Structure 1
């Protein structure tokens, strides 16, 4: 049965708009609910048109009015082309560039390249983030929110949007599943391993707090004028680590560890180097960062068996966190400077024990 035709007076009405005794209402064709719009005919017509565009999925697409006002080219896709030029000009680590590129591609897929950027709402952002979380990618959703917040902040700064729709979305919390590395476990691996280069890598990591990628490329030539001059690969931050830097609990200074790295009987440019031929690696060659992690994991499993209270076992990177906590307890080293952090909040993340260690109450 076909729907009853409207009378001639109401045939000019937008779809789903009704008028009863001078009062206008719009009926949602999806759920049938009505929404009152008052008695102003002009306003009711405008609101009905916008509501229809929304339910038909056209709200963010380019419309004739955009062409008339010059906003037709201000789509999310066009902005991302412009924003990519801005990001390309920045000094970023290769891993950061790859991460950004992946998140930018995901944002375009979720929000749509043809969407008018100034019509993207907080609801659109929230729906996009929920879609990622629904796939079980909580950490990716967290990273996407952070990236989109910066994307729209820049768009706001250049006048493409009047407000940042990401700013008011809820922060996405991610529970870290990797366990912290206890001091006893570190020492068990260090004292029991028969791998010379792993011992040197661990000694450097616990004494300097630097990342595995920085340890993997560290050269003897970088140690001069009583310091290791380290340019961090991830951030580009420059950290000068004096050779008298010493973690008392470990019992060796940086200078002594550098000397230990020279006693392998192998001539090499690198502090952490191959001491015997293995696969495609020649004697004296640097150790690939992933090899450092794999070998440490194998040794940890062998020398410190544990179920880690249901969490994932700690990786080599956890030595960096352990170094921060040990130096903080020692008290004579500013750990934010040691780790090369510009923001104290980054250092605080490393200081979090994640419930894996006992906290001794100090008395007197």
Structure 2
């Protein structure tokens, strides 16, 4: 990635700069060499644009090739085309796009990237995924396999490979065992007893709402209105919007969502339900608690509660509260309700709990 431009230079053509003496100069992005262009701004801009245009004609574009009807690609050449097609079709959230680009970069740099799409067989893909799993773990290998399957599926639709010849389809997912210990309700209360005030609030919000760590950290008092807690889930880029009835209550816990929200109010002025209550270094009372802070506080309380994992496993993290919440709601109200409150998609949930007004899915107390 190139260096960050100064604000005053952001209107400049790419690769054009101006030094403190007022002289313009052009930096060749390929050779990193520089050439002075004098102090005439109009002339410098014109020369820079000509140079950029000349460079552009020397760089092959897979997307242009595809538009012009080219069908023969290496895997590395096809990936930019796939990225454009996939991005336009799915309109992914920022986090999803970032994760996908990371996988595409690694795939394009692999030896497999130099092979022609039509020549890639299942054995090539299986070998690559096996090595990928050794380097990055089974979970990442599963993500890579899913992405590769989609890459070749798009290639089928565009005539780059023959229909029915997706080489990823016959491969197996890398197997893995969940090493993290599940969190029991008894352990939850033990950890809760050793947590700070704001960490207690975060834990209770996570248990009653079933939401992810990032969403807990972002919850504001303004999100609770007309008896409902409004959550636009971050993982979906805000597309999954939930209205959770404040009256929703877990019998085994003994409080409702509304009770937990009310319990977050104190004498400190803050926009956020989970907020710092003491001054620590640059942190002031009322400041938002960052997601990493939630995990750290949970870990510290867990260690004070002396909760350890069994051999070969890791102790439960803050994220495991979501799993505990799902199990408690499923036990008390059924799997459809549990899926609804967590924001999972299912035909049953859509039929019973989906309120399309404004795109919000309303989950009411039973």
- Using the TM superposition, give the Cα deviation of residue 282 of structure 1 relative to its aligned residue in structure 2, in angstroms: 1.9
For residues 169-215 of structure 1, the C-alpha deviation after alignment (integer angstroms, 9 at most, x for no partner) is: 0122211111111111101111333x111011011000010001001
- For residues 280 and 175 of structure 1, the distance between their equivalents in structure 2, rounded to whole angstroms, comes to 41
Change (3 A) 1:140 1:155: same
1:160 is the counterpart of 2:160: yes
Partner of 1:255: 258
- For residues 85 and 136 of structure 1, the distance between their equivalents in structure 2, rounded to whole angstroms, comes to 26
Partner of 1:237: 240
- For residues 238 and 111 of structure 1, the distance between their equivalents in structure 2, rounded to whole angstroms, comes to 42
- For residues 141 and 95 of structure 2, the distance between their equivalents in structure 1, rounded to whole angstroms, comes to 18
For residues 224-258 of structure 1, the C-alpha deviation after alignment (integer angstroms, 9 at most, x for no partner) is: 12111111000131111110011111111111111
Query: Could you tell me whether the CA contact under 8 Å between 1:185 and 1:304 is conserved in 2?
Result: no
Query: Could you tell me whether the CA contact under 8 Å between 2:133 and 2:174 is conserved in 1?
Result: no
Runs of 5+ unmatched residues, structure 2: 1-68, 348-366
Which secondary structure state, in structure 2, belongs to the residue aligned with residue 234 of structure 1?
helix
RMSD: 1.9
Partner of 2:295: 293
Partner of 1:337: 340
- Using the TM superposition, give the Cα deviation of residue 71 of structure 1 relative to its aligned residue in structure 2, in angstroms: 5.5
Which secondary structure state, in structure 1, belongs to the residue aligned with residue 110 of structure 2?
helix
Query: Could you tell me whether the CA contact under 8 Å between 2:231 and 2:242 is conserved in 1?
Result: yes
- Matching of residues 1-364 of structure 1 within 5 Å: 73-89=72-88, 90-135=90-135, 137-162=137-162, 163-193=165-195, 195-235=196-236, 236-262=239-265, 264-331=266-333, 334-343=337-346
Query: Could you tell me whether the CA contact under 8 Å between 2:72 and 2:117 is conserved in 1?
Result: no
Q: TM-score, normalised by structure 2?
A: 0.70
Partner of 1:5: none
Change (3 A) 1:136 1:107: closer
Partner of 2:360: none
Which secondary structure state, in structure 2, belongs to the residue aligned with residue 241 of structure 1?
strand
- Using the TM superposition, give the Cα deviation of residue 72 of structure 1 relative to its aligned residue in structure 2, in angstroms: 6.8
- For residues 215 and 123 of structure 1, the distance between their equivalents in structure 2, rounded to whole angstroms, comes to 44
Which secondary structure state, in structure 2, belongs to the residue aligned with residue 308 of structure 1?
coil
- Using the TM superposition, give the Cα deviation of residue 113 of structure 1 relative to its aligned residue in structure 2, in angstroms: 3.6
Q: TM-score, normalised by structure 1?
A: 0.71
- Using the TM superposition, give the Cα deviation of residue 157 of structure 1 relative to its aligned residue in structure 2, in angstroms: 1.9
- Using the TM superposition, give the Cα deviation of residue 109 of structure 1 relative to its aligned residue in structure 2, in angstroms: 2.4
Larger CA deviation: 326-335 vs 120-129: 326-335
Query: Could you tell me whether the CA contact under 8 Å between 1:111 and 1:124 is conserved in 2?
Result: no
- For residues 225 and 286 of structure 1, the distance between their equivalents in structure 2, rounded to whole angstroms, comes to 24
- Using the TM superposition, give the Cα deviation of residue 306 of structure 1 relative to its aligned residue in structure 2, in angstroms: 2.1
- For residues 292 and 86 of structure 2, the distance between their equivalents in structure 1, rounded to whole angstroms, comes to 28
- For residues 343 and 311 of structure 1, the distance between their equivalents in structure 2, rounded to whole angstroms, comes to 31
- Using the TM superposition, give the Cα deviation of residue 321 of structure 1 relative to its aligned residue in structure 2, in angstroms: 0.1
Larger CA deviation: 208-217 vs 173-182: 173-182
Query: Could you tell me whether the CA contact under 8 Å between 2:214 and 2:291 is conserved in 1?
Result: yes
For residues 23-62 of structure 1, the C-alpha deviation after alignment (integer angstroms, 9 at most, x for no partner) is: xxxxxxxxxxxxxxxxxxxxxxxxxxxxxxxxxxxxxxxx
- Using the TM superposition, give the Cα deviation of residue 343 of structure 1 relative to its aligned residue in structure 2, in angstroms: 4.8
- For residues 102 and 226 of structure 2, the distance between their equivalents in structure 1, rounded to whole angstroms, comes to 42
- Using the TM superposition, give the Cα deviation of residue 329 of structure 1 relative to its aligned residue in structure 2, in angstroms: 1.1
- Using the TM superposition, give the Cα deviation of residue 168 of structure 1 relative to its aligned residue in structure 2, in angstroms: 0.6
Which secondary structure state, in structure 2, belongs to the residue aligned with residue 290 of structure 1?
helix
Query: Could you tell me whether the CA contact under 8 Å between 1:153 and 1:164 is conserved in 2?
Result: yes
- For residues 247 and 268 of structure 1, the distance between their equivalents in structure 2, rounded to whole angstroms, comes to 27
- For residues 292 and 255 of structure 2, the distance between their equivalents in structure 1, rounded to whole angstroms, comes to 26
Which secondary structure state, in structure 1, belongs to the residue aligned with residue 124 of structure 2?
helix
Larger-gyration structure (1/2): 1
